[in-house]
A and B are shown apart, each in its own frame.
Chain A
Amino acid sequence: MPSVPAVIEADALTKYFGSFPAVDHICFAVEEGEVFGFLGPNGAGKTTTMRMCECVSPRSGGILKVLGRDPAHHARAIKREVGVVPQETNLDPEFTARENLVIYSRYFDIPRREGESRAEELIKFVELTERADTPIEQLSGGMKRRLILARALVNEPRLLILDEPTIGLDPQARHLIWDRLRSIRAEGRTIVLTTHYLDEAARLCDRLVIMDHGKILVEGEPESLVQKEITGEIVETEHTPAVEACLNSHGIPFEVAGEVVQVQTKDPAAVTGALLASCSIGRVITRRATLEDVFLKLTGRRLRE
């Protein structure tokens, strides 16, 4: 255990919905100042875990400490120091962008004058200055997500929890949010996020876990996870019966992923050579393994509801 107390500590954290374990005895610790990611397919238990950490959903079992306190008894004190970006956009449609921030700051007992000046700064921070007095419904999806990020910062949180922060955004908007998250991290704030986007996780997270069926499958730094879970590189070629037969005849193990065949190997040159020499293929690609390969290896390729 590290000497500095963790920002979030979970031990055998469990959540049941009826008899269904949505989160099943998970253990993790988020350290001060890091970006910690939760990856997993739909229904893996990521959002449920976030909601327990946000003190809005009571746990069914295990130990949970957020900022050193138990959410079951100190929710109000914890929430004062936590900023939340929910998956669902729940900005107040009755108000403009600026008013949303000012009204929200009131829920934290921030004096109106102070709230107004923070709103001004945060609007600038997420580049919405020209839209400050626009009603919510006239903002684009990306603007709404940026405004929600600004809203989550209105109480100057020590811990920022983001559930799918860039869902449905165009590349420009995603890059802006990533950039802002990096500068929030640089201020020493701790960030916990969930995402489906593996490139997002690889770019942002210092450490991450991959969850499925309510359990944590692996934990680590993105780069070392790839190295640990995948040996060598990936050779990809088209998926035809001929290629399959050819690979089998060479005794090369492979995996079928829809239209492509993938070979995991430490010696990509040899595999590529064999393919080109005797399998009569049109196209072959060698690439480095990514977090996506780890993700699919651990959680499978089957579609989730």
Chain B
Amino acid sequence: MNNVVLAAAVPVARGISHVWARNWRVYLKNPLLNFAIPFLEPILTLAAIGFGIGAYVGMVGDVSYSCFFAPAVIGTAVMHAAFFECSYASYVRMYYQKTFDAITATPVTLREVVLGEVLWGATKGVIYAACILVVLAIAGLADFPASLLVIPLALLSGVLFAAIAICFTAISPGIDALNYPMFLFITPMFLFCGTFFPLELLPAPVQAFAFAFLPLTHVMALMRMITMGAPTPYALVHLAWLIGATVLFIPLGNRLMERRLIV
């Protein structure tokens, strides 16, 4: 029985890896630029916060504002990187470059293309997280070695944001329509999900909404526990939410993509 499952899983894993590897090779075409951005972005953001806003805000609870804000740099970067990759970038590959059509004429299936894209989107999130983590380590804004857990968390949240993005890609009539989830879903999360200020400052119903429906709320709660080295039992709830949502959105993305492309 196990052998049968394994025999079925091997070609699927291969297909996914070929799709991932294709995107990785494109990424490596311009390594200097592609690796410089994830380093430069957090340095600029942290400088603006640390030298600027942080000077006005002072302390959040018993930590400095920079220390409070640092995990948000990682959380939002993972969200943006993964979501952008599997929305706009995937849409370009799917619609304009016909890359999905070219690949599905080979033994690689559409499901493997979708999963390879999602895994690639998550990989970009992880690349950002790793680069930012280095900056935070140098700036003394993260607790080590516990903060290394940021990497697996970035992978999980990257997969989730990428899977949500691929769902929107599958139903978008045109590339401009992707602006809707970007501005109605991603940007509000960037501003309100415990990133720039604690979630507790929001009215209770808004907090409840954020907790129930917005993935970044859970990513931020976990990120902060990790970089501050202050875990609570709630970590399991947040983790369960993220895993549950991932399990939901991956098959949904597959179904929506099949509905769009297999005619």
Contact = CB atoms under 8 A, between A and B. Distances in A.
B26 A75 contact: no
A76 B262 CA distance: 15
Interface of A: 17, 54, 56-58, 75-77, 79-80, 84, 86, 88, 90-95, 99, 103-104, 106-109, 155
B34 interface: no
B105 A54 contact: yes
Query: Does more than half of chain B's interface fall in helix, strand or loop, or is it mixed?
Result: helix
A124 B209 CA distance: 62
A92 B106 contact: no
A56 B109 contact: no
B178 interface: no
Contact of B263 (A17, A88, A92, A104): A17
Nearest to B14: A109
A58 B109 contact: no
B101 interface: yes
Contacts, number: 60
Contacts of B104: 56
Contacts of B106: 79, 104, 107-108, 155
Given A57-B263, A106-B18, A106-B21, A91 B102 contact: yes
Given A107-B103, A155-B106, 18 more contacts: A54-B105, A57-B262, A76-B109, A79-B107, A86-B101, A86-B102, A90-B101, A90-B102, A91-B102, A92-B22, A95-B26, A104-B106, A106-B22, A107-B15, A107-B18, A107-B106, A107-B107, A108-B106
Interface centre among A54, A92, A155 (most CB of B within 10 A): A92
Nearest to B102: A90
Contacts of A58: 262
23 contacts: A56-B262, A57-B263, A76-B107, A76-B109, A77-B107, A80-B107, A86-B102, A90-B97, A90-B99, A93-B97, A94-B97, A95-B26, A104-B102, A104-B106, A106-B21, A106-B22, A107-B15, A107-B18, A107-B106, A109-B14, A109-B18, A109-B107, A155-B106
Query: Does more than half of chain A's interface fall in helix, strand or loop, or is it mixed?
Result: loop
Q: Which 4 A-B pairs have the closest CB atoms?
A: A90-B98, A107-B106, A90-B102, A84-B105
B263 A103 contact: no
A51 to B, nearest CB: 9
Interface residues of B, number: 23
Nearest to A77: B107
A88 B102 CA distance: 10
Interface string B7-21: 000010011001001
Interface string B157-178: 0000000000000000000000
Contacts of A104: 102, 106
A93 B93 CA distance: 10
Interface centre among B15, B26, B102 (most CB of A within 10 A): B102
Contact of B105 (A56, A93, A95, A109): A56
A103 B22 contact: yes
B74 interface: no
Given A57-B262, A57-B263, A86 B105 contact: yes
Given A17-B263, A103-B25, A92 B105 contact: no
A106 B263 CA distance: 26
B98 A88 contact: yes
B163 to A, nearest CB: 23
B216 to A, nearest CB: 30
Interface centre among B26, B103, B106, B263 (most CB of A within 10 A): B106
A94 B29 contact: yes
A88 B99 CA distance: 11
A94 B23 CA distance: 10
B262 A92 contact: no
A88 B109 CA distance: 19
B108 interface: yes
Contacts of A80: 107
A57 B104 CA distance: 11
Contacts of B15: 107
Contacts of A75: 109
Interface string B50-87: 00000000000000000000000000000000000000
A214 B161 CA distance: 43
